[in-house]
Structure 1
Amino acid sequence: MDTTGIPHPPRRVPLLGDVRGVSPRTPVQDAIRLGHDLGPIFRRKFLRREIVFVTGAELVGELADESRFAKHVGLGVENLRMIGGDGLFTAYNWEPNWRRAHDILQPAFSLAAMRDYHQTMLDVARELIGCWDARVGGAPVDVAADMTRMTLETIGRTGFGYEFGSFQRDEPHPFVAAMVRVLRYAQQLNFRLPVIGRLREREAARQNAIDVESMNAVVDEVVAARRASGDTSTRDLLGLMLNQVHPDTGEALDPVNIRRQVITFLVAGHETTSGALSFALYYLANHPEVLARAQAEVDEMWGDVADPEPTFKEVTKLRYVRRVLDEALRLWPTAPGFSREAREDTVLGGRYPMRRGDWVIVLIPGLHRDPAVWGPDPDAFDPDRFAPGRARQRPAHAYKPFGTGERACIGRQFAVHEATLVLGLLLHRYHLRSDPAYRLRVAELLTLKPEGFALRLERRRPAAHPVGIGSPGWSTKALSSNTPHGSR
């Protein structure tokens, strides 16, 4: 790509590039800051690699045009091929298993399938509530960790009929522990320096190989359990992969690709949703007026019923709760970027020539903060941005938390329904009290989550006015020793 005229950070370091004031642990947040200073399109150089970022909604509108641009698998996503291979998220556009799997699995995300998943989602949400009830009036809960437990259990049961026992464990399931290390390793591959730290790199690669094998072993156990059961139904994702063929070609998915698809769904199907819920809870706990409106909505729906039995339809009517989720995903889309490559030679924005195969990264948190779309204070948390009248006034390409085009997230409706259900139940049941001294820290492992965010819980009487946030009695001493502290 001809980058002439595209701004870049000043004071480049010879050989290393744009490394001043940035950290390999916070590449997304560093890029957001640079985009704010440099404009709707900018470039960064690291060693010999120069990357172009786009944050302007007008340019993203062009990049979302499927006739001109397609998904590009590169950087962090390409690094995940070590576990995802030609799975739905990490497949190259030319690999046949992407289309084959997409078409076979599409029925798993129909409205009828969503209704079938609802009860299992509710069952898992109740396990989370049972865990949180035991902490009422006691030690704070580690929000991101518990949301991860809940979403992993949900995708395991709904997608594969497999229970991870997430709420019966004191420590995360081994799959999660291995996954976190693999995601960290994949991110750090983008920042390797030549020669320096070769011994440390070899040790990291050795551990990564062990973690990949560990994840494969868990998935092989899931598949083996289904095969041994004799179940040949197509009731869920695994059933479709094992027992369904492509509707047009009659081709089935091969065993290696099935493993890769299962890993893809286990990672993507829980990691991003848990982050979205965690950010939503953070913003609710720090915006009492928003919390009050959201709790009023769930109280109107379920009244003073201690343990409501939400129906599928009732969850879809929690419109303000959904706005809270949408706004949390606007500020911190848990999958923070996607890459687009030119299908043919073209010119982006009328001034940036791109040859066929040239690619750029759409930095979604930057797009979601474009003041031309989101107003003069785009960093402010305001769920009413997603009120119907205001939402209709925005171009569709201005809000892209689930990617774009035919390679966008296939499980979007699954994630939204699960998150709305869980958030509604938590709002109905608890007062959410955060540490008034806590300042949001965002952890980056290719996905984004709040780091060190905890809530102190109290049971509430539905329809009662929510208690103020950060009231006396909060203490951080009860936080478990593995909860991160300090500020970045």
Structure 2
Amino acid sequence: MATVDIPEPPAYPIIGHAALIDPSYPLGSIQGFADKYGEIFRMRFPGSNNVVVTTQALVNEVCDEKRFKKVVAGPLNHIRRGVHDGLFTAHDGEEPWGIAHRVLMPAFGPLKIRNMFDEMHDLASQLTLKWARVGPDTHVEVSDDFTRLTLDTIALCSMGFRFNSFYSEDMHPFVQAMADFLTECGEIDRRPLPGMFYRAKDQKLMQDIEIMRSTAEEIVMARKNGTKSESHNDLLTAMLDGVDAKTGKKMTDQSIMDNLITFLIAGHETTSGMLSYSFYQMLTHPETFTKAQQEVDAVCGKGPITVDHLNKLPYINGVLRETLRLTSTIGIFAVTPIEDTVVGNKYFVKKDQPMLTLVSKLHQDASVYGDDAMEFHPERMMDENFNRLNKEFPNCWKPFGNGKRSCIGRPFAWQEALLIMAMLLQNFNFVMKPGYTLSHKQTLTVKPNGFTMRPILRDGLTPTTLERRLAGSLPETNDPKAEANLTAEDTSKGVPLTVLYGSNSGTCKSLAQQVVVDGAAHGFRTVKMDCLDSVKGSLPTDHPVVIVTASFEGEPPDNAGHFVSWIQSLKDEEQALKGVSYAVFGCGHSDWVSTYQRIPKLVNSRLAALGAKQLTPLGATDVSTGATFTDFEGWEDGLLWPALKKQFGGSDASTEENRTGGVKVVVSNPRNETLRQDVQPAVVVETKTLTKYADEKLAKKHVEIKLPTGMKYRAGDYLAVLPVNPKETVQRAMRVLGLSWDAHLEITSDVPVALPVNTRVSASDVLSLYVELSQPATKRNLREIIEFAPDEKTIVSLGHLANDGYATEITAKKASVLDILEQFPCLNIPVGDFLSMLPPLRDDLYREELDEWQRLGAVDVRRAYSRQTDAAESKGCKYVQDRAWHDREELMALWKQGAKVYVCGSKAVGESVKGVMIRMRKEMVPEGEQDEEKLQEWFNSLRNVRYVVDVFD
């Protein structure tokens, strides 16, 4: 048979192709050669000569165990120094491998894996609770946390040992030694110089091996010396007690230690990478995230996930398989011919020639997976199609190796991954860091590098209620009033209505709450009030939907991102939302000119384009004017309710219900009960004034806060201050309402309200903590107050305030409902009416430290003093932007080196620094690129990538 030479890239003498390999991501370099040289090519490194195959046709040939056998090459050959003839580093035919394999196969059987579920659930719950407690504003390092989880899981399930990785900042010495060991083993073959130049690294490698083996030995000896009463049904017990049916031999202590370390290495690296890539793929393809989450909701509900749920998740199985197809965590496995042979009918390969199957390219073979092989489609890997592909194209999917030497722990890893995916999707929505571009980190396996996401609890969960859910002590159907009635589904009479919001700061949620309350007065009962993400994938068609949402620098709120991605992913021609009836109200800040009302406009237009019926024109308010609630009430009264009644009916409620929104209050005066808040108190341990001004409001203060035990703070985290109305304002309200200092209120309501209901609460606490006493009165408030006017004179005066005098007497003076009641002492308004008029209360220089950090070289502080520009440190600069321009040469040099800019301050600061950035750019580019439009385009391309702003006004 005529043969042809196997192609290879040009090589260097002695070192071969080593210099052509990217040391940070070798697999990427080999994939690049595959793109150029095709189905087969040769690669040479010092001490090794390899043939690489990349297509399903050739891989199918080399997976024939009658012609080829596994060869331990590359990093695996060096890992043998630590684990010898363990399950995945043994040479073909080594007896200890055969004994261990036959002893352990039953331990990885379906029933044994099923019995490990409780331990897996324990560890998965630890990760889930950690992510819940770090909060929705924290970007979690996905690969790092999944690595901790999978390592702890294999350690607990295989040998009853707890590394407790989530309970310590410092990893167990074994873990660090293992990580360093794997990294070095991956780099040895790429060393360009003789071994004598790497003695220090080799010595460190041996130290790491000693740490790993001594830890394994301690675990084995502890189990051997344990009391007989201790019962363990894990892999370590199987290895200690199991007898090989073929030879009659037991595993030696050395072999047990080899395989314990093998389990920890192989059992965590691959699974953590698979999970990390799965979430990356789902978040970059939001429609797949929605489908996966919907499957979990349908199968698992809101109760604890059980082992029986896991075999009912075909779509998530497809997600995991498709993830491993596109981003296999094991990029290569090696075989060698048993005899001289020819592959592909034309390539001669000698006996014992190492052959590398490039799994990543095999999985992208268009002859198997079609023209869209590079795209992420979990449906292609669901059971029926997955089985068809593997039947028509044998060995087309090989993420777990081949034949008898394939991964023995695959059932373990799969059950673990299904559980973790289901638990996280059940309880969280996730937001990927804006601007992230996928890159890879390679050791023994491959993982995404620098991939972070923010975990946002779903369904109104808190870390406390989540803990109860995971433990099975939280009822699947929660009492809606337990969450201050904010996510209740009302079952009272009336036309059904769904109210949805997208909100970060709480304003849109407050407006949505107002729709619920006002709806009852117009004959509508709210069957669902929740965030937009809660309905991604499905909107009701049998009743109207009201949406209130905002934009944040042109991006959707945290709890609306998945919904927005979903409606953007749908095709107009499919008319997927035909039958939906909706109205949208948007909140925005006009200072953000280019992105003002972007998300409300997008939601409004996309719903219409997808076939939904728009009931009202898009409502909008500019929060910078301070008239948000007045604008909203005008839209409600003038457009929303008339349109809903015309289309769906409804009826006007009684005058009293219309005033109070269904709120009824019983006043009592017990003294012993106190209001509890679901927060953790922190202690202010020191305050000191840094700058003194005649106007105390301008003073800058240093405040030190002691956090509660167990709570941590990292640079960039937010510190939220629980708002409290001033004591003087609360006392004014108590006087106006005729409440004694120890009065208590018992509030009931037929509709969801942002007040503590069905419990007796101190009146001062309600007025201090739950309502905005200083919110300017709206025109509707004034119309409601008029109903309590005792005489014509008062009616006329209040009518003037609600109409011609509103701008000058209310808006300009920011007059609140409380101010008006004080202005007209003849008004006698019940407590319930007063509370129903008020919106919920919303969450509103370190010289020595900076000098010390500068002394240590951690920072370089450049100061600008607005009121002391002659100070030497200020160099004549009054504001931040002045100092940036003064130091522009240094800043431009840093920028050319890849520096990033982070701006924290008022919007004025952000805009001023932006101006300096554009001026600096103008100095850096040729005249042809200096027009304003091009400069603005350049700046916009940097937003949230190299230029990030956090403004607080």
TM-score strictly above 0.5: yes
Q: 2 CA distance for matches of 1:348 and 1:425?
A: 46
Match of 1:456 among 449, 454, 457: 454
Q: 2 CA distance for matches of 1:356 and 1:5?
A: 16
Could you tell me how far 1:321 is from its partner in structure 2? Answer: 0.9
* TM-score normalised by L of structure 1: 0.91
Q: 2 CA distance for matches of 1:182 and 1:95?
A: 24
User: Is 1:211 aligned to 2:204, yes or no?
Assistant: no
Q: 1 CA distance for matches of 2:127 and 2:102?
A: 33
Could you tell me how far 1:343 is from its partner in structure 2? Answer: 1.6
Task: State the SS of the aligned residue for 2:7.
Answer: coil
Residue 135 of structure 1 corresponds to 134
Alignment of 1:140-151 (within 5 A): 140-151=139-150
Could you tell me how far 1:48 is from its partner in structure 2? Answer: 6.0
Residue 311 of structure 2 corresponds to 316
Letter in 1 for 2:429: H
User: Is 1:442 aligned to 2:440, yes or no?
Assistant: yes
Could you tell me how far 1:125 is from its partner in structure 2? Answer: 0.7
Q: 2 CA distance for matches of 1:298 and 1:53?
A: 40
Q: 2 CA distance for matches of 1:331 and 1:434?
A: 19
Q: 2 CA distance for matches of 1:81 and 1:47?
A: 19
Residue 345 of structure 1 corresponds to 340
Cα shift readout 1:437-472 (whole Å, capped 9, x = no counterpart): 111111000211111111111111299235425999
Residue 5 of structure 2 corresponds to 5
Task: State the SS of the aligned residue for 1:28.
Answer: helix
Task: State the SS of the aligned residue for 1:134.
Answer: helix
The ranges of structure 1 where at least 4 consecutive aligned residues each deviate by more than 4 angstroms after the TM superposition are: 231-234, 469-472, 476-479
The answer as to whether partners of 1:326 and 1:386 remain within 8 angstroms in 2 is: yes
Residue 224 of structure 2 corresponds to 227
Moved more, 255-264 or 243-252: 243-252
Task: State the SS of the aligned residue for 1:347.
Answer: strand
Q: 1:443 to 1:437 in 2, by over 3 A?
A: same
Q: 1 CA distance for matches of 2:166 and 2:19?
A: 43
Q: 1 CA distance for matches of 2:11 and 2:80?
A: 31
Q: Give the share of equivalent positions with the same residue, in percent.
A: 36
User: Is 1:468 aligned to 2:468, yes or no?
Assistant: no
Q: 2 CA distance for matches of 1:21 and 1:6?
A: 19
Q: 2 CA distance for matches of 1:148 and 1:325?
A: 17
The answer as to whether partners of 1:334 and 1:447 remain within 8 angstroms in 2 is: yes
Q: 2 CA distance for matches of 1:314 and 1:130?
A: 21
Task: State the SS of the aligned residue for 2:105.
Answer: helix
The answer as to whether partners of 1:337 and 1:364 remain within 8 angstroms in 2 is: yes
Letter in 2 for 1:273: T
Could you tell me how far 1:194 is from its partner in structure 2? Answer: 2.7
Residue 42 of structure 2 corresponds to 43
Task: State the SS of the aligned residue for 2:342.
Answer: strand
Q: 1:12 to 1:355 in 2, by over 3 A?
A: closer
Q: 1 CA distance for matches of 2:716 and 2:159?
A: 36
Moved more, 340-349 or 282-291: 340-349
Letter in 1 for 2:330: A
Match of 1:391 among 380, 386, 394: 386
Q: 2 CA distance for matches of 1:109 and 1:363?
A: 27
Could you tell me how far 1:23 is from its partner in structure 2? Answer: 1.3
Could you tell me how far 1:218 is from its partner in structure 2? Answer: 1.6
Cα shift readout 1:380-430 (whole Å, capped 9, x = no counterpart): 111112133432332230000000110100011110110011011101111
The answer as to whether partners of 2:108 and 2:408 remain within 8 angstroms in 1 is: yes
Q: Which has the higher contact order (CA 8 A, sep 6+)?
A: 1
Q: 1:47 to 1:80 in 2, by over 3 A?
A: closer
The answer as to whether partners of 1:72 and 1:339 remain within 8 angstroms in 2 is: yes
Cα shift readout 1:272-308 (whole Å, capped 9, x = no counterpart): 11111111111112111110000000010122x2xx3
Q: 2 CA distance for matches of 1:209 and 1:48?
A: 21
Q: 2 CA distance for matches of 1:465 and 1:324?
A: 21
Q: 1:21 to 1:73 in 2, by over 3 A?
A: closer
Q: 2 CA distance for matches of 1:136 and 1:229?
A: 42
Task: State the SS of the aligned residue for 2:357.
Answer: strand
Q: 1 CA distance for matches of 2:202 and 2:21?
A: 24
Q: 1:95 to 1:460 in 2, by over 3 A?
A: same
Alignment of 1:20-35 (within 5 A): 21-35=20-34
Structure 2 gaps, min length 5: 461-532, 537-559, 566-594, 596-713, 718-857, 859-898, 901-944, 946-953
The answer as to whether partners of 1:233 and 1:243 remain within 8 angstroms in 2 is: no
The answer as to whether partners of 2:3 and 2:346 remain within 8 angstroms in 1 is: no
The answer as to whether partners of 1:155 and 1:265 remain within 8 angstroms in 2 is: yes
Q: 1:47 to 1:115 in 2, by over 3 A?
A: closer
Q: 2 CA distance for matches of 1:478 and 1:174?
A: 30
Q: 1 CA distance for matches of 2:11 and 2:354?
A: 22
Structure 1 gaps, min length 5: none
Could you tell me how far 1:78 is from its partner in structure 2? Answer: 0.8
Letter in 2 for 1:410: I
Residue 616 of structure 2 corresponds to none
The answer as to whether partners of 2:18 and 2:190 remain within 8 angstroms in 1 is: no
Q: 1 CA distance for matches of 2:258 and 2:203?
A: 21
The answer as to whether partners of 2:127 and 2:166 remain within 8 angstroms in 1 is: yes
Alignment of 1:87-486 (within 5 A): 87-195=86-194, 198-199=196-197, 201-231=198-228, 235-303=233-301, 305=302, 308-394=303-389, 395-461=393-459, 464-466=534-536, 467-468=560-561, 478=716
Could you tell me how far 1:243 is from its partner in structure 2? Answer: 1.3
Q: 2 CA distance for matches of 1:313 and 1:24?
A: 44
Could you tell me how far 1:234 is from its partner in structure 2? Answer: 6.8
Task: State the SS of the aligned residue for 1:353.
Answer: strand
Alignment length (residue pairs) = 473
Task: State the SS of the aligned residue for 2:192.
Answer: coil
The answer as to whether partners of 1:15 and 1:48 remain within 8 angstroms in 2 is: no
Structure showing greater radius of gyration is 2
Task: State the SS of the aligned residue for 1:399.
Answer: coil
Letter in 1 for 2:385: R
Cα shift readout 1:339-359 (whole Å, capped 9, x = no counterpart): 111122221111122233222
Q: 1 CA distance for matches of 2:214 and 2:261?
A: 11
Q: 1:21 to 1:437 in 2, by over 3 A?
A: farther
Moved more, 416-425 or 162-171: 162-171
Q: 1:179 to 1:345 in 2, by over 3 A?
A: same
Task: State the SS of the aligned residue for 2:534.
Answer: coil
The answer as to whether partners of 2:139 and 2:452 remain within 8 angstroms in 1 is: yes
The answer as to whether partners of 2:70 and 2:405 remain within 8 angstroms in 1 is: yes
Letter in 2 for 1:367: L
Q: 1:321 to 1:284 in 2, by over 3 A?
A: same
Moved more, 455-464 or 371-380: 455-464
Task: State the SS of the aligned residue for 1:80.
Answer: helix
Q: 2 CA distance for matches of 1:376 and 1:12?
A: 33
Moved more, 357-366 or 388-397: 388-397
Q: 1:203 to 1:274 in 2, by over 3 A?
A: same
Q: 1:249 to 1:46 in 2, by over 3 A?
A: closer
Letter in 2 for 1:104: V
Could you tell me how far 1:167 is from its partner in structure 2? Answer: 1.2
Cα shift readout 1:208-228 (whole Å, capped 9, x = no counterpart): 111111111221122122122
Cα shift readout 1:87-125 (whole Å, capped 9, x = no counterpart): 101001121011100000111111110110111111111
RMSD of aligned residue pairs (Cα, Å) = 2.5
Cα shift readout 1:349-380 (whole Å, capped 9, x = no counterpart): 11122233222000111111111112223221
Q: 2 CA distance for matches of 1:82 and 1:273?
A: 24
Q: 2 CA distance for matches of 1:105 and 1:414?
A: 13
Cα shift readout 1:240-289 (whole Å, capped 9, x = no counterpart): 11112112322011111111010000110111111111111111121111
